[in-house]
Chains A and B, each alone.
Chain A
Amino acid sequence: MRTYIVILLCMMGAWLPTQASSAHAEDESFNVKDIIFDHIGDAYEWHVTTIGDTHVSIPLPVIVYSRETGWHTFLSSHFHHGTEAYEGFHIATEGDYKGKVVETLSTGEVARPMIDISLTKIAVGILINSLLLVGIILGVSRWYKRREASDEAPRGFVGVMEMLIMMVYDGIIKPSVGKDYERYAPYLLTAFFFIFLSNLMGLVPIFPGGANVTGNIAITLVLAVCTFLAVNLFGTREYWREVLWPDVPMWMKCPLPLMPVIEIFGLFTKPFALTVRLLANIMAGHSVILALVCIIFVTHSMGGLLGGSMTVISVLFSIFMNCLELLVAFIQAYVFTMLSAVFIGMARVEHHKG
C-alpha cells in the first residue's frame, strides 16, 4: 500500500512542475530538456508548483562571501525567481555560471563569489535527509537501549529497520570485509542508509523529497572519497606491497614501473566508478520519469486524440519506471555499500603464500 502511495506521489510530483510549464507551452515552445535539467540540477529556491502565473516555491538562504563586500546572507526570495538583483548579486541566466549566483564587481565585471555555500535545494535536501536518517536510526537505537537481549524481537518499523540493518551487516559487511569488520560497519551502514534514504526521498515528488541528492556528483563524490579514505588509510602492508610491487614478471615493474602505475591508477578508478555509477543511475532514473511525463504535454500540443492516447501510455510507463526506480534506489545503495565493503576487504589482505 505504501508503495502505491509513493508511486502516486511520484506521479503527482512529476506532474506538478510540468503542469506549470504547460501554461507556458501555449506561448513558447515546450522545452523538455530544460524541464529535466531544471529538475535534476540545483536551484536557489525549492520550487513546489506553479498555479497560473504564480510560482509557489520555498525560498532558501543564500550564503555567499564576496571578495569585495564580505559575507552576505539573505533569502533567495529577494531574487524574485531570478529576475532581480539583490545586494549586487543576481542569478546568471546564461554563460558558464548559468543558474548560479554571480556578483557584479565594482569594475562592472560579472564573477562568481569567492565562496558560495548557499543552502540550495540539494543542500537542504542533504540536511533533511541527514536529519531524517539520524532521527530514524537514533529512534530505532533508543528502542534497543530500553530493552534487554532477552526481550522479544522488535515488530513494526523497528523490526523492518533491524531487518535492513542486519541484512547489510550480515549480508554485505561481514563476508566482504572479513576480519575486523566491526570497525567499518558504522561507515558502511551510514553510507547504505544515507544513499537508500536519499534515493527514496528523491522519488517523493513534493517538498521534503524530490531533491536529486544522490543524482548530484558532489554527493556521490564525497561518498566515494570517504570509501577511498576508508580503503587506503587502513590498508595493510601486504595491500600496499601488492599495489607498489605486485607479483608480476620483473620486466613489468623494474626499469619501467608499468604495473605499479596501473595499480595506482586503479586506486583512483575505483572511487571514480563508485561516483559515476550512483550518479548516473539516479540521474537517468529521474530523467526518464520526467521525460515520460513530458510526453503528455508534448503530444497534447500536437492534438487531442494523440495526446489522450499518449497520456495513457505515458502514465503506464511512468508507473512502471517508478516501480523500477524503487528497485534501483535499493540496488544502488546495496551496490555502493557492497563495493565499498569489498574494496575495504581487499585492502585488508594478509600475507599469503602462492
Chain B
Amino acid sequence: MSLFTPDSGLLFWMILSFGVVFVVLAKWGFPVITRMVDDRKRYIDQSLEAAREANVKLEGIKAESEALVAEARNEQRRILKEAADTRDRIVGEARQQAQAEGARLLAEARTQIQHEKEAALRDIRRQTAELAVEVAEKIMRKQLADERQQMHLVERLLDEVERN
C-alpha cells in the first residue's frame, strides 16, 4: 500500500526542510527563548529574595524602633519615678529636719524655761530668806525689847552651849 511506503521525493524534502528548520531554530530560536525565560526566572527569584531580605530588614528596623520607643518609655518612667522619689525624699528629709529643728528648739526652750525657773526659784528662795531674816529680826527686836527677856535668852543659849 502506498500509504505505508515512504516516497523518496517526500523524504528528500522532509529531511531538507526539517534539517534547515532544526538548524535555524536550534541556533536562533529556542535557546534564545528558553535562556531568556530562565534568566527571567532567576531574576524573579532574586527579586523575591531581595524583597524577602528587605522585609526582614524592615521588620528588624521596626522591631528596633519599637525597642527604642519601649526603652525611651521605660527611661521616662524611670526618670519620673526617680523624680518622684527624689521629691518624696526631699520632702521627707525637710520634714524630718523641720521636726528635728522643732524638737531642738523645743528642747532649748524647755531648758531655758528650766533655767529661768531655777533662777526664779533661787530668787524666790533668797528673797524668802531675806524676808524671813527681816521678819525674824523684826520679831527678835520686838521680843528683846526688855532686859529680862534678853537675859533669859542669853541664859538659854548658854545652857544650850553648856549642854553641848
Give me the interface of A with B, judged by CB distance under 8 Å. Answer: 37, 40-42, 98-99, 115-120, 122-123, 126-127, 130, 133-134, 137-138, 140-141, 144-145, 147, 149-150, 153, 161-162, 165-166, 169, 182, 185-187, 189-190, 194, 216-219, 221-223, 226, 283
Contact = CB atoms under 8 A, between A and B. Distances in A.
A162 B34 CA distance: 9
A185 B18 contact: no
Contacts of A218: 6-7, 10-11, 14
A41 B5 CA distance: 11
A217 B5 CA distance: 7
B18 A186 contact: no
27 contacts: A42-B7, A115-B9, A117-B8, A117-B12, A118-B9, A119-B13, A120-B10, A122-B10, A123-B10, A126-B13, A127-B17, A130-B17, A134-B21, A137-B30, A138-B25, A162-B33, A165-B37, A166-B37, A186-B30, A187-B22, A187-B26, A189-B30, A190-B21, A190-B22, A217-B4, A217-B6, A221-B11
B15 A222 contact: yes
Contacts of A99: 2
A120 to B, nearest CB: 7
B6 A221 contact: yes
A130 B9 CA distance: 17
A133 B21 contact: yes
Interface stretch (B39-47, B65-73, B151-159): B39-47
Interface string B17-37: 110111011101111111011
A323 B123 CA distance: 144
A185 B39 contact: no
B3 interface: yes
Given A138-B28, A162-B37, A165-B33, A150 B13 contact: no
Contacts of A40: 3
A191 to B, nearest CB: 8
Contacts of B9: 115-118, 120, 123
A314 B20 CA distance: 41
B25 A117 contact: no
Contact of A149 (B2, B32, B42): B42
Nearest to A136: B29
Interface string B115-146: 00000000000000000000000000000000
B29 to A, nearest CB: 4
Nearest to B18: A222
A218 B7 CA distance: 6
Nearest to B6: A218
Nearest to B34: A169
B145 to A, nearest CB: 148
B31 A186 contact: yes
Nearest to A137: B29
Contact of A216 (B10, B15, B21, B24): B10
Given A126-B14, A217-B5, 10 more contacts: A117-B8, A117-B12, A141-B32, A150-B40, A189-B34, A190-B25, A216-B7, A218-B6, A222-B15, A283-B3
Given A42-B7, A165-B33, A221-B6, A141 B18 contact: no
A130 B21 contact: yes
Nearest to B27: A186
A138 B24 contact: yes
Nearest to B41: A149
Contacts of A283: 3
A65 B24 CA distance: 30
A144 B36 contact: yes
Contact of B13 (A41, A98, A127, A144): A127
A150 B47 CA distance: 10
